[in-house]
Structure 1
Amino acid sequence: MKFIPAAILLAALSGPALAQMTPVGTWQSIDDKTHEAKSQIRISESGGVLSGRIEKLLRKEAKQDAVCEECTDDRKGQPLIGLEIIRGAKKAEGKDVWEEGKILDPENGKSYTLRLTPVEGGKKLEVRGSVLGIGRTQTWVRVQ
């Protein structure tokens, strides 16, 4: 009976560590050129499908009331803060990778095929956007 409280404590402490190997959470995107924080994105999960919205614009010169002027779908003219930029990503079977979704670049209004891969114990997230296999990978940093 003495071991039951210790087992409960161990399970409670290990739960958050295991939960970090998921894209679910809040992330800072980093500008490829300046290496400065660009925005804060919250990724959530519903029914096994991920979506992600911009929560904050972090650049000093960012207009907090900016809208997605370049978007061509239902997001055209929508405020950047609150804008859904990740849609439809699902966990690949047997891997810590989420695929089959799309990511929107609000700067050019284009959507790309998405792959999300937590790395460094879930402290960072590799975000790959591509078209016909050609694309780029950004590394986002988890907000603690």
Structure 2
Amino acid sequence: MDEIGIIVSSDDPKNLAMATNLGHVALTMDTDVFLYFTFDGLTHLLEGEKDLSSVQPLLDEGMPNPYDMLDQLIADGGEAVTSVACTTTLDMLQWEQDAIDDDLTTQFAGAVTFLEAAEEADHVFTF
């Protein structure tokens, strides 16, 4: 496997944890990771504090913080990880690109960019 695509369209931190865990595993297998944040999933890339109350019991049991996992995936991956904020969603929600954390986002692009990456990916997963 050379590349996987991961669509993150849910604002649930559990889904982010699953997506980033899959990304970390892919990196250990020398597989590039293309993360596409769209719709509610785009909230994971917003600057500022994140609400972890829905996963607090899991965090208390030892699950890593999903936002730390995302930070680490991007830091560890270097050029092997592409993290895209969907510009179509930004436009629909009337959010400014300045609201998105530049440390978590390597690219701003729309559906065409995702479809091109998905065409090259060996597998595409959705969370």
Higher Rg of the two aligned structures: 1
State the TM-score, normalized to the length of structure 1: 0.26
State the TM-score, normalized to the length of structure 2: 0.28
Q: Which has the higher helix share?
A: 2
